[in-house]
Structure 1
Amino acid sequence: MSSPYSSASYPPFSPAEAKAARLRIGLSHGHVCAHLAQLGLHRPPETILAWESGAARPTEAELFALADALWCPTPILMAVRPRTLREHRLARQFTAERLARRIGMPVEAYARAETDHHWTGTDHQTLLLADALGLAPAEVPAVAGLAGELVGLLRQAVEGRWKQYAAPLAQLARLDEGRVAGALRTLHQEYAAFNERYLGHLVARTGDERLREIATDRAAWLRTLPDRFRHLTEGD
């Protein structure tokens, strides 16, 4: 069975950004090859040209070495804002094997987490992962593929008895339960305010247009629920 981190698995890469980075520091293709050789990668100038033209793509190891040779942050060469677990790992120039060792997780289990977009690590492994990748605890669920579960619990909390969801959400988001409880209390009150406004206008029969406005505002608030939760739990 082939590894998802073999040379056939290419990372995100922008030929235009690679060329721009090389030109910014005034290197020729040959100069880049010399720098790569110093890093243990021997590639001909034609390879660099192929990367810059889009005819070929660098492997993970080649991407890391190219970023070092060009004095360019890896995310710039990737031309993405890291969102997935793999993208965050690449941005920090970790191989899967090295990151797995750092957090004390079998490489196969870590590989599945990336390919399945679902994190199964322990609390300790999750804390080590957040530290290695420079993530805030509240960012881990989205990166680790747990965002859907987080949103589901948040919706249930604001729409029902929020207290019973404090512990599950604290465990999922790897946050202090007291801080999560405070955030849920605020979110529940904000959601209740929408319902009170809606019912008030319904009883007063102020018209369908006003009711639609309130419903639209509530829907927009629900779409930003994870961000609002993150803001409340990261506050002082």
Structure 2
Amino acid sequence: MSHPPFSPAQARAARLRIGLTPEQVVAAMAQLGVHHLAQTVISWETGVAAPSETELFALADALWCSVPELMALQPRSLREHRLARHFTAERLAQRIGMDVHTYARAENDHDWSGTDRQTLFLADALGLEPGELLRVIGRAGELDGILRQAVEGRWKQHTATLARLVGAPERRVAQALRTLHQEYGRFNERYMGHLVARSDHARLKEIATERADWLHALPDRFLHLADAGTRPSP
């Protein structure tokens, strides 16, 4: 596996901020079971070398900072979220009940194949809210597509699918879809009313823009209404 993202400048800044020498850093890492010479820390800070995942975890602990700080990024991918939570691939796979090779393939190929239960355990382990979870596992587009079908047509037939997708009770999903379907219907009623009344083009365009903005925010509004994120206990 390739080295994780790492910022030499952030590592040096974190060390200087708490006033440690490279020797003191490696001494702290040794207490965590990672043994190196001070020169290794210097090589990381100068960009000559980069730490492995295990070394990154130990370095963050030794420097009293978060892993994302040393990676100098806001976690977005599945691997980055895993690293931010100090999980090795093996430990996370075990936590969610997935074969480690299957998990590693999902992470490397950006193609999540976990069961509904494994997906909910993943969200719990990584502390992901439903919207972020769907983005991380590549299903945000799927949610948006199903929601648009639901508000534009027969919403009831999509209830079970959406409940599984976001990990929310079907009853709450049904309530959310009913509300959204009604809201979307009111947009159409307003538009057709102004069309029949032969309102000016500017007013029709204004309503169309409002509807487009509403559709853009549809996934987040749905997740809020459904109170998604009910997770089973491991």
Separation in 2 of the partners of 1:220 and 1:68? 44
Over aligned residues, Cα RMSD in angstroms?
A: 1.9
Q: Is 1:195–2:195 an aligned residue pair?
A: no
Q: Who is 1:231 aligned against?
A: 224
Deviations 1:125-165 (A, max 9, x none): 22322222123455432222211111111111111111111
- Please point out which of 130, 134, 157 is paired with 2:123: 130
Q: Is 1:81–2:74 an aligned residue pair?
A: yes
Q: Is 1:46–2:50 an aligned residue pair?
A: no
Structure 1 counterpart of 2:141, one-letter code:
G
State whether residues 8 and 47 of structure 2, in contact with CA within 8 Å, keep that contact through their aligned partners in structure 1. yes
Deviations 1:158-190 (A, max 9, x none): 111111111111111121111111111111112
The aligned runs of 1:149-164 (5 Å cut-off) are 149-164=142-157
Separation in 2 of the partners of 1:53 and 1:194? 58
Separation in 2 of the partners of 1:10 and 1:138? 28
Deviations 1:91-129 (A, max 9, x none): 111100111112221111111221232322122222322
Q: Who is 2:231 aligned against?
A: none
Separation in 2 of the partners of 1:208 and 1:91? 51
Secondary structure at the aligned position of 1:210 is classed as helix
Q: Who is 1:3 aligned against?
A: none
Q: Is 1:107–2:100 an aligned residue pair?
A: yes
Q: Who is 1:25 aligned against?
A: 18
Separation in 1 of the partners of 2:153 and 2:176? 15
State whether residues 63 and 74 of structure 1, in contact with CA within 8 Å, keep that contact through their aligned partners in structure 2. yes
Separation in 1 of the partners of 2:51 and 2:219? 35
- Structure 1 gap segments, 5+ residues each: 1-5
After TM superposition, give the deviation of residue 69 of structure 1 in Å.
0.6
Q: Who is 2:6 aligned against?
A: 13
> What is the aligned-residue identity percentage?
67
State whether residues 130 and 136 of structure 1, in contact with CA within 8 Å, keep that contact through their aligned partners in structure 2. yes
Q: Is 1:185–2:178 an aligned residue pair?
A: yes
State whether residues 138 and 175 of structure 1, in contact with CA within 8 Å, keep that contact through their aligned partners in structure 2. no
Q: Who is 2:158 aligned against?
A: 165
Q: Who is 1:34 aligned against?
A: 27
- Please point out which of 193, 199, 212 is paired with 1:219: 212
Separation in 2 of the partners of 1:220 and 1:56? 47
State whether residues 118 and 146 of structure 1, in contact with CA within 8 Å, keep that contact through their aligned partners in structure 2. no
Residues matched between the structures, number: 228
State whether residues 183 and 229 of structure 1, in contact with CA within 8 Å, keep that contact through their aligned partners in structure 2. yes
Structure 2 counterpart of 1:65, one-letter code:
A
Query: TM-score with structure 1 length normalisation?
Result: 0.88
Secondary structure at the aligned position of 1:63 is classed as helix
